[in-house]
Amino acid sequence: MQMLRLPQVMAKTGLSRAAVWAKQNPKNSRYDAAFPKGVKLAANTTAWVESEIDAWLESRISFSRKQHQQGAMS
């Protein structure tokens, strides 16, 4: 299992540091319950499971494609 640190998550998703943390915070308007939760490895170390990040990206791509197709049908 491959773990990604924040800079790798940012590079892979195209999200900013603030956006990654916002997606995990239920009190934030940018919260995304589907976004993978970070895993605390140590007091100041969080990492994400790469396969979960990949699955989230795939779901976003699929959602975007469906939205595009629905728009084309209207």
List the chain pLDDT tens, one digit each, 74 residues.
999 999 999 999 999 999 999 999 999 999 999 999 999 999 999 999 999 999 999 999 998 888 777 766 65
Q: Give the pLDDT of residue 51.
A: 98
Q: Give the pLDDT of residue 69.
A: 73
Which tokens belong to 64? 């975007």
Helix, strand or coil, per DSSP, at residue 1: coil
Label residue 3 exposed, middle or buried (CB < 10 Å: 0-12, 13-18, 19+). Answer: middle
Residues in the chain: 74
Q: Give the pLDDT of residue 59.
A: 95
pTM, rounded to two decimals? 0.86
Q: Give the pLDDT of residue 72.
A: 62
